[in-house]
Amino acid sequence: MAESFIFSFAHSLLEKLGSLAYQEVCLVWGLHDDLLRLEHTLANIRAVLLDAEEKQEHNHALRVWLCQLKDVFSAAEDVLDEFEFQALRKKVVKIHGSTKRKVRHFFSSSNPVVFRLKMGHKIKEITKKIR
């Protein structure tokens, strides 16, 4: 049952990564290649999950691996949610932001350069866990 959840989770992550909004955000923040690699890796894992769901009843190691994979997918979804949040936040600041807010934003942890660095590390950490 949980493994079917993992398969659905993988599918939803791939849909998010394929959306136009994520493509635009990735290009703006310079993380397009990292997210593209993550998308390919998740697609490969999704294919393996199809076989694993059938075999996991008889293989304890496979069940353990699927549980660990669930944690990795959860971390990947958190990263994608952060991208989505930052994209929405950027739109709001652009529409309603004053100069004072923009300066404060530049020196905050929401600065695009700081965000790019932080997300790049998180994506690499997730990719390392997958392999």
Domain ranges of the chain: 2-130
69 CB-contact burial (10 Å; exposed 0-12 / middle 13-18 / buried 19+): buried
- Model confidence over 36-72: pLDDT tens digits? 777 777 777 777 777 777 777 788 888 888 888 878 8
Structure tokens at 124: 């690499």
End-to-end distance of the chain based on CA atoms, in angstroms? 24
Question: What proportion of the chain, given as a percentage, has pLDDT over 70?
Answer: 63
Q: Percent helix, strand and coil across the chain, each rounded to 5?
A: 90, 0, 10
Q: Flag whether pLDDT at 1 surpasses 50.
A: no
Least confident of 14-18, 32-36, 89-93: 14-18
